[in-house]
Amino acid sequence: MDYSPLQKARFTYKPKLPPVLQGSLLKLTVKEGQKTAAQAQGEQISTLFPATYGAPLIETVEGTSEKPSSPISIGVVLSGGQAPGGHNVICGLFDAVKKFHSESKLIGFLGGPSGILENKTLELTDTIVDRYRNTGGFDIIGSGRTKLENEEQFDICADVCRLHDISSIVIIGGDDSNTNAAVLAEYFKQKETGISVIGVPKTIDGDLKNKYIEVSFGFDTATKTYSELIGNIERDANSAKKYWHFIKLMGRSASHICLECALQTHPNIALISEEIEEKKQTLNEIVDSIVSIIMKRSELGENFGIVLVPEGLIEFIPEMKILIDEINTLLAEHVDHFKTLNTFEEQARWINKNLSKDSSYVFSSLPDNIQRQLLMDRDPHGNVQVSRIETEKLLIEMASSRIAEKKNEGRFKGVFSPQHHFFGYEGRCAFPSNFDADYCYSLGYNAFVLIAKGLTGYISTIRNTAQSTDHWTAGGTPATMMMNMEKRKGKMKPVIRKALVDLNGKPFLTFKEKREQWAIKSDYFYPGAIQYFGPAEVCDVPTQTVLLESTV
């Protein structure tokens, strides 16, 4: 295999660990902090997690040196969408495992959680791991979206672990995967299997966070990658002065990516789904607000601009949310009948007939392509796959017809020439920024410390990330403290609560204060490409979201 010069240079990068993790591994111990409680419905959650609920917060600290014990075997699995830095979590874990005892083993489960169920494994060695240090992607062992959620699966997991003599599993995943990791940890503890489970917070979406978990890994690199591209488009728009660019940005539900990219690039418009939901804005109102900015800029002779659209928008617009919920339910309840409908026309007719009056009206008013996308295959949770809905094109279509009306009425004299883009997959496997390389390596290394100290049901945690790594600390957050009860597939389930954009938080308030100025002026900000080598103020700065949240 041949490697690019940058990749070769990155292989030699030594990720920075928090001071506490830099010394002898045998000296590390954990200090218990306050006992924890769930975010809401604590009583129900404590009944569902009798063995692991209420565990204390944990801080990794230096203690007295212990004798090296016998070798251990640990399993690791990557779960869900790719996020930059996943390989470094594995590298950090691997280095700690080997440092602890050279005969200890790290066994990767291939292709995500299904690798555990199907007993597909790969023992990781120096030769393998060294080819993936500081690289993007999850290809070292692959990932998948199979959910581990029932007892039959948990028993298979235990059997497969016993087969390989694995005493701990590290699950690297988002909110759903970490929820499942917590359920598995509880089951293993109740059944006294002796197998522990530790989670690692992953997702470019940035929605797996709380007071203790400051950021999920991958968010830093992904938002910097998109911001570079947005900045480049802004400069192109400002040079040619002829296009309005509508850019949809990934993020299944929350708008953290869109907000962070707005803070990094100062676009004319950035829609924040959480605000739209709070204001109960309709699709027409959103389009009106976009058109009004297009008209104002046009009056100043600026027939160009940048609109950022969060991927999850459609599900936050109240009338669309109701429509999508109704379609999800219809498709789930009539799955066999729906399969017999061969053409889109037949499907649309059947859906329209079965929707409520209001939703049928909303559905019929949508362009054909959007109707088709709303009826496409569901994800494993039975939800519509928002990344496949072309919201940016929907907004362009609606804005274009609104502007055509204004033109006919003589109220718009400019030109509206739109372009559309979707940035998602472009950022998920980028070379991890120094931040993600350091953060992920530390998360993986620290996950081993939690395992070595016999903990289970915890998420590896690195804190003080707004500051340089010299100030980072390490510890563990009990997964149950991040939970509340939510409806899943018609039943109330304990799940880790997704962190949406906080409309009273510093990142949103900073954006809100600036957005009117950014709307009219071409006040663009060009972050440029991620830099890996050079001064710390260029290479090691965290996201605006992390910096602003740390000042609260």
- Closest of 61, 58, 59 to residue 19, by C-alpha: 61
Spatial distance between the Cα atoms of 147 and 281, rounded to a whole number of angstroms = 34
To ligand FBP, the closest distance from the beta carbon of 490 in angstroms equals 22
Which of 115, 201, 251, 444 binds ligand FBP (CB under 6 A)? It is: 251
For residue 530, the tally of other CB atoms under 10 A from its CB is: 21
Q: Which is nearer to ligand FBP, 81 or 199 (CB)?
A: 81
From the centroid of its chain, how far is CA 442?
19
Check residue 199 for interaction with ligand FBP (CB under 6 A).
no
Chain positions 392 to 451 lying near ligand FBP, rule: CB under 6 A, are 428
Which of 135, 168, 203, 477 binds ligand FBP (CB under 6 A)? It is: 203
Spatial distance between the Cα atoms of 260 and 264, rounded to a whole number of angstroms = 6
- Closest of 74, 115, 25, 80 to residue 197, by C-alpha: 74
Check residue 384 for interaction with ligand FBP (CB under 6 A).
no
Tokens 């978990």 sit at which residue? 213
Contact (CB, 8 A) for 92 and 441:
yes
To ligand FBP, the closest distance from the beta carbon of 204 in angstroms equals 5
Q: Which is nearer to ligand FBP, 15 or 81 (CB)?
A: 81
Which of 45, 57, 204, 375 binds ligand FBP (CB under 6 A)? It is: 204
Spatial distance between the Cα atoms of 49 and 19, rounded to a whole number of angstroms = 34
Instruction: Transcribe 477-533 into DSSP letters.
Output: EEGGGGEEEEEETTEEEEEEPP----TTSHHHHHHHHHHHHHHHS-------S---S
Distance between the two ends of the chain, CA-based, in angstroms? Answer: 48
Burial tier of 505 (Cβ tally within 10 Å: 0-12, 13-18, 19+): middle
For residue 357, give the 3-state DSSP assignment. Answer: helix
Check residue 38 for interaction with ligand FBP (CB under 6 A).
no
DSSP secondary-structure letter at 105?
E
Phi, then psi, of 79 in degrees rounded to 5: -130, 130
Considering only 23-31, 89-97, 190-198, 202-210, which stretch makes contact with ligand FBP by CB under 6 A?
Answer: 202-210
H-type alpha helices, 53-143? 86-100, 114-117, 126-130
Residue type present at position 5: P
Which of 95, 220, 274, 311 binds ligand FBP (CB under 6 A)? It is: 311
Considering only 19-27, 43-51, 200-208, 348-356, which stretch makes contact with ligand FBP by CB under 6 A?
Answer: 200-208
To ligand FBP, the closest distance from the beta carbon of 34 in angstroms equals 29
Contact (CB, 8 A) for 220 and 92:
no
Considering only 201-209, 291-299, 502-510, 511-519, which stretch makes contact with ligand FBP by CB under 6 A?
Answer: 201-209
For residue 35, give the 3-state DSSP assignment. Answer: strand
Check residue 373 for interaction with ligand FBP (CB under 6 A).
no
To ligand FBP, the closest distance from the beta carbon of 108 in angstroms equals 18
Check residue 254 for interaction with ligand FBP (CB under 6 A).
no
Considering only 77-85, 122-130, 265-273, 351-359, which stretch makes contact with ligand FBP by CB under 6 A?
Answer: 77-85
DSSP secondary-structure letter at 471?
G
H-type alpha helices, 49-192? 86-100, 114-117, 126-130, 151-164, 175-190
Considering only 80-88, 292-300, 344-352, 437-445, which stretch makes contact with ligand FBP by CB under 6 A?
Answer: 80-88
Q: How many residues bind ligand FBP, per CB under 6 A?
A: 14
Check residue 174 for interaction with ligand FBP (CB under 6 A).
yes
Annotated active-site residue 205? The verdict is yes
Check residue 383 for interaction with ligand FBP (CB under 6 A).
no
Q: Which is nearer to ligand FBP, 18 or 218 (CB)?
A: 218
Check residue 231 for interaction with ligand FBP (CB under 6 A).
no
Spatial distance between the Cα atoms of 285 and 281, rounded to a whole number of angstroms = 6
From the candidates 205, 220, 436, 438, give the one annotated as an active-site residue.
205
Considering only 67-75, 78-86, 400-408, 528-536, which stretch makes contact with ligand FBP by CB under 6 A?
Answer: 78-86
Q: Which is nearer to ligand FBP, 179 or 473 (CB)?
A: 179
Considering only 38-46, 91-99, 114-122, 249-257, which stretch makes contact with ligand FBP by CB under 6 A?
Answer: 249-257
Spatial distance between the Cα atoms of 450 and 431, rounded to a whole number of angstroms = 27
Q: Which is nearer to ligand FBP, 237 or 429 (CB)?
A: 429
To ligand FBP, the closest distance from the beta carbon of 297 in angstroms equals 30
To ligand FBP, the closest distance from the beta carbon of 454 in angstroms equals 29
Chain positions 143 to 172 lying near ligand FBP, rule: CB under 6 A, are none
Strand partners, 157: none
Q: Show the CA angle centred on residue 138, arms to residues 230 and 217, nearest 5°.
A: 60
28-35 vs 56-62, strand pairing mode: antiparallel
User: Which tokens go with 92?
Assistant: 């950090």
To ligand FBP, the closest distance from the beta carbon of 380 in angstroms equals 9
Check residue 205 for interaction with ligand FBP (CB under 6 A).
yes
To ligand FBP, the closest distance from the beta carbon of 372 in angstroms equals 18
Instruction: Transcribe 57-90 into DSSP letters.
Output: EEEEEE----------EEEEEEESS--TTHHHHH
Check residue 225 for interaction with ligand FBP (CB under 6 A).
no
Q: Which is nearer to ligand FBP, 75 or 424 (CB)?
A: 424
Contact (CB, 8 A) for 271 and 386:
no
Which of 15, 81, 86, 478 binds ligand FBP (CB under 6 A)? It is: 81
Show which residues are catalytic. Answer: 205
Q: Which residues bind ligand FBP (CB under 6 A)?
A: 80-81, 83, 174, 203-205, 250-252, 311, 386-387, 428
